[in-house]
Amino acid sequence: MSTEKEQIRQLFKDKRKALSPEEAQRRSELIFRQFQVWFNSHPEIAHIHIYLPIAHQNEINTLLIRDYLLGRGNSVYTSIVKSGTLQLDTVKIDSNTIFEINKWGIPIPQNISAISPNKIQLVLIPLLAFDIKGNRIGFGKGYYDVFLSGLDGEVLKVGLSFFDPVPQIPSETHDIPLDYCITSEKVFTF
């Protein structure tokens, strides 16, 4: 992994950590509004995979998006890390799903079985930073690159970011770029 990538990762971890809880929530609400407008222009999308926010990481509050999608009658999915691997098991969630916070602070759906991800049309991807070409930096474990590589190539990959893009992020052959990234100000298309 490049030193430049690590420097960008650390810079954006620090920037995100510096946001007050109130500012993170305010930006999350603005990102949610941008998502609503964008999503309403894509009525063909019915099956959406989301990530659930890790509070202590100051992640974007995707629960706003989850509740909105469930209220519209969309099918909503998330993933659970398959223990000891880089694999993510896909699970369908609904308004009755109960979550428990695991030792890493991740909300984990309870009493749910893994299903095939073949219906997924859009994946919301967690990230720390992205660039003007749609390359992204996450926490560096590679879960989402592995997950995305197993999905149909037509699946839309949408990042959510508190911050605007950087000019360039070094990419590697296994990196899968975004199709869109939604910030509090606008939707970037790549």
Annotated binding site: 5-9, 52, 59, 136-144
The amino acid at 151: L
Q: CA–CA separation, 19 vs 156, rounded Å?
A: 29
Which segments are annotated as binding site for substrate?
A: 52, 59
> Residue 168: what are its φ and ψ, rounded to 5°?
-155, 140
Among 162, 137, 157, 156, smallest CA distance to 62 is for 162
> Residue 82: what are its φ and ψ, rounded to 5°?
-75, 115
CB atoms within 10 A of CB 163: 17
Question: How far, CA to CA in Å, does 51 sit from each of 41, 85, 93, 134, 184?
Answer: 22, 18, 11, 19, 18
> Residue 136: what are its φ and ψ, rounded to 5°?
-140, 160
Which segments are annotated as binding site for ATP?
A: 5-9, 136-144
Residue keyed to tokens 């049309």: 121
